[in-house]
Amino acid sequence: MDLRQLRYFQAVAEELSFSKAARRLRVAQPALSRAVKELEQHLGVRLLDRDRRSVALTPAGAVLLDNAFLLFERIDELVRRVQRTALGEEGELRLGYIGPPTQNFLGRLLAAFHGRYPRVNIVLEERTPERVCEMVARGRLAVGLTRPVLSGRALGLSATLLRREPLWAALPEGHPLLSRAEATWRDLAREPLIILSRREGVGLHDAIVEACRRARFAPRIVHTPSVIGTILAYVETGAGVGIIPDSVAALGAGRPLGFRPLTPRRTVDLVMVWSGDHDNPVAAAFRQLMLQWIAEGRLWAEPSPLAPRRGNAVHHRR
């Protein structure tokens, strides 16, 4: 049974006339009669009782007509879904990300994406930078918002720069450096430092060590937690000075901490990555929205949730 035969039968069954059905379908009546006869032969049942004056549905024909409506509705919806999927309007977006650096914009961006593509199911996975890139390369994630990693090029990933984040010092309450508007890297030469584990963030870890080297001192690292928010917990206890991207300062809201930009200015990149080997229209639609937001200056339009206050000023550089 093919769809042409079924559509021809449906027209005849609805019109109860071969001539009217032929005009409706704009086909020759003999071709229409032949298609219905072939359908009956294929099914091994009589679908229509006809003579020279009338056409009537048999009980089997009535069952087929009722279900033909459902079948053609399913087919039409399937066609629409295929077309929407090809345009990136339907499907699944698996997005990997790293937490604090994306918290300023990710919720707003995903809300806008959902508003534009409500049929796309969004799956979020928060991972380390290295894991995000690995999962994108393997096709387990469609897009990643992460730090550049050394293996990125070897994995064949494409990337777009989203932001260069300045590095800041996180200081315990009452620290002498809080009396200044900013601190220098050299000011940290004798401080116990708390930085993210290299295993969890090789790009950030290495950028901090390199900044210390350029300031001509070897950093005295006392803690290397695997979660960047834990750096602030250590600082709060007085264990040392944390070095963080400025986006992480927002996690210190309401805590007895202070934050100061470090000079000379050193930065770590935040990038969007994807793999050409596993690309799809939904991922392309997300990247297009991201690029639109960057061009319109909307990605970093919101102020930091950490309000500046005396002795604990945070001035995010956008």
Give the contacts of 170 (CB within 8 A, at least 6 positions apart).
Answer: 194, 231, 232, 235, 241, 242, 243, 244, 248, 249, 252, 257, 258, 259
Amino acid at 177: L
Residues 82 and 174 in one domain: no
d(CA 80, CA 63): 26
Q: Which of 86, 116, 135 is the last residue of a domain?
A: 86
In three-state secondary structure terms, 18 is helix
Q: Model confidence over 237-271: pLDDT tens digits?
A: 999 999 999 988 877 777 899 999 999 999 999 99
Cis peptide before 264 (omega within 30 of 0): yes
pLDDT for res 152: 66
pLDDT for res 141: 95
Residues 34 and 127 in one domain: no
**Owning domain of residue 9:** 3-86
Sign of CA dihedral 277, 283, 285, 288: negative
pLDDT for res 303: 43
Q: Which of 60, 86, 112 is the last residue of a domain?
A: 86
Residues 211 and 287 in one domain: yes
Q: Model confidence over 7-42: pLDDT tens digits?
A: 888 888 888 888 898 998 889 989 888 988 988 888
Residues 96 and 81 in one domain: no
Give the contacts of 86 (CB within 8 A, at least 6 positions apart).
Answer: 281
Residues 210 and 249 in one domain: yes
Return the residue matching tokens 């984040």: 165
Residues 79 and 106 in one domain: no
Residues 125 and 37 in one domain: no
Phi, psi for residue 302 in degrees, rounded to 5: -80, 145
Residues 77 and 102 in one domain: no
Residues 79 and 179 in one domain: no
CATH at residue 32: 1.10.10.10
pLDDT for res 186: 97
Q: Which of 40, 63, 86 is the last residue of a domain?
A: 86
Terminal alpha carbon distance of the chain: 64
Number of domains in the chain: 2
Residues of the chain with pLDDT under 50: 302-318
CATH at residue 266: 3.40.190.290
d(CA 148, CA 167): 16
Residues 14 and 52 in one domain: yes
Residues 145 and 119 in one domain: yes
Q: Which helix (H) or strand (E) holds 19?
A: helix 18-25
Residues 215 and 307 in one domain: yes
Do 283 and 228 meet the contact criterion of CB atoms below 8 Å apart?
A: no
